[in-house]
Structure 1
């Protein structure tokens, strides 16, 4: 194992693969409000401030976890009245119906005013909570729970090291090949913690199959299998298992997901297809841990090359991680892994993110279907070439080409998407 990369990739995994309850954008708003509320001597009476337009896009329509309601103002009010900032991305764990009712009353009274602003950082939250004569302002920038400013009654206070607050240091990027070597050579016991991703996300999938959440896309597909309109095969199992977790997560299930790069949907997409294939192949836990580590690392490697929030549906890049993990399970071959990723870039390089909502599960179904198709092609040594669209000479150039589109021209697409959503 190359010592230069082993600690780095392990740090990436431990930083970016973390439990999260519900869609992380409304949770980020709730976290900021809960953090500020913890410094007030009495219950919050009003909330004022702004959040970045990108964060607003992903927080405005999705169901707040543990509730049946949605909205940025309600996310802030629920966080302020009942959230626990010490739980980071699980701030809203255990929220009661009574708290939701109180939050609705606060919003209905006009005591919560949060606007969307164009900001330099895609994740930017600036909220001030008032209780009597006292107030607390909290500023979150760069990551969903990274507090960079905290002021009580106008005076700055020491920032607590909660959530991502201790993760200010930038980490160097890495290649797919480096991720492959890492998972191939590291002792399995050192990445056994990746099995928790399988446990959490498969439990969320089970929840989504047991109850109807959101658009219940997994139920639609399962009914199609039962009626013979779809085949009862491995691809169907991959899609249904993965979409069930996304249905539940976007529909407000009070069950945590193991996230990837700050997103539960990305964590779900990077995890469940790999677990489903691993069970099909009946591999042991050590093998599953390696496959999951590769999937999550590839997803991280790709997403680290563009902004955390963007016009690109990041489930597509997380599914590229899943394609890598599945290809490895079938072949143990780096060439097959690279080919699967290249095939996916050629197939689903332009799915837009039009905000977090129940329809995200539809995009998840499309991306994991593409991932398995890309793996099947790779196993037959069929790969899109540099003559095909944005595909480059190798996997790294192909990924860079995709991310170039996200960072440059799709930045304008993102602004137009936000304009359309805000005008509805």
Structure 2
């Protein structure tokens, strides 16, 4: 397929929009940003905060550590966002917070000055923060995208409002007439200088991986597996290096490390999963700079392409689809053939389809390890000319039809799963 300049620009712009640095899990960070913007307009520290979020944002914010705070949950996200957040920081809103600000935020929480509840909203991704100081109050709403402020109100006066675009609308438009082979062809033929920016993903996520190997964050799965090599319980081979280095980055991210991840489709874990397997394999095969750049771009673009067929947040763990992106990048590094990519992604769909998202938490790193393991296993099968075939399950003989089948299940049938998961999570007794 020959790509017109307008389409080329749109594809690159989509990647630049979807692959951005993010400090901390993006759902609580979205609420922190709403609180930071509200504080900017309030002009003073709040006496109390009322926050409302969509069910999916509640699911993804309940169990994850807010970076730089050592504290889990949306109450901390709202508090520290209001006290120390940078309203112009986007997904890095919490980059400059201090220990003193964290202490103030914890005091607000201990004094029961923060209330977070579920909003009856049509938006899958929605956060609202209302800050109060004496007789002053400011309300800020974010919807559809993690940094998309759609509403600002102060003391009952509307200061700003804009229509809310449908989730993933831009990405859907870009990919409307493209298929997986087009994604492959574009990544291999686009002018190198136009996609060189993707190298930053390797830099940021590799630093996060190293941090996860240096300290015990979250479930410290990557670090645990690394220790087992020294004990002779697992081997120091390519599969385990992929799992260890990718999972360590997720450990650090979910455990509150004060380092940004390069995200993909609004998720740091998706960005990590689309990046680190490619970095590890590129190092293993001594790939040149251009090979690494194109493999990273192919990985991230394929992940965005697949995710564009999904809701922004859903009951399907999107790390699984991000791993299909890195599957493409790694398969290209090892074979240079689209056929291997097609076979491997088909096998992944036959393997890990339907893994549920039960909220952002330290256990996300487990799903990261499972997904990248499936990816590499599927690539090895393709190297032996073996794959899950179109005669089995939801896999079809054509890769895009298989992708569409997976995304249809996530977008439709798994809506019921999502509601059940959220119901279970919000009704669980608090830990003893």
Q: TM-score, normalised by structure 1?
A: 0.96
Matches within 5 A, 1:15-414: 15-158=17-160, 171-173=173-175, 174-414=178-418
Q: Secondary structure at the match of 2:50?
A: strand
> Residues 16-50 of structure 1, C-alpha deviation per residue, up to 9 Å, x if partnerless?
00000011111111011001110012111111131
Hey, what's the Cα distance between the residues in 2 that align with 1:157 and 1:234? 55
Unaligned runs of 5+ in 2: none
Hey, what's the Cα distance between the residues in 2 that align with 1:207 and 1:406? 33
Hey, what's the Cα distance between the residues in 1 that align with 2:243 and 2:268? 16
> Residues 89-141 of structure 1, C-alpha deviation per residue, up to 9 Å, x if partnerless?
00001211211111121122222112013432110112211122221111111
* C-alpha contact (below 8 Å) 1:205/1:244 kept by paired residues: yes
* C-alpha contact (below 8 Å) 1:127/1:138 kept by paired residues: yes
* C-alpha contact (below 8 Å) 1:259/1:267 kept by paired residues: yes
Hey, what's the Cα distance between the residues in 1 that align with 2:338 and 2:238? 23
The Cα shift of 1:168 comes to 8.0
Q: Secondary structure at the match of 1:351?
A: coil
Hey, what's the Cα distance between the residues in 2 that align with 1:41 and 1:244? 40
Hey, what's the Cα distance between the residues in 2 that align with 1:6 and 1:17? 16
What CA RMSD, in Å, does the superposition of the two structures yield over aligned residues?
Answer: 1.5
The aligned residue for residue 2 of structure 1 is 3
Runs (4+) of structure 1 exceeding 6 A deviation are: none
Q: Secondary structure at the match of 2:174?
A: coil
Q: Secondary structure at the match of 2:49?
A: strand
The Cα shift of 1:159 comes to 6.0
Hey, what's the Cα distance between the residues in 2 that align with 1:139 and 1:286? 42
Q: Secondary structure at the match of 2:65?
A: coil
The Cα shift of 1:5 comes to 3.2
Give the stretch that moved more between structures: 269-278 or 36-45.
36-45
Q: TM-score, normalised by structure 2?
A: 0.94
Hey, what's the Cα distance between the residues in 1 that align with 2:292 and 2:222? 24
Q: Secondary structure at the match of 2:138?
A: strand
Q: Secondary structure at the match of 1:9?
A: helix
Unaligned runs of 5+ in 1: none
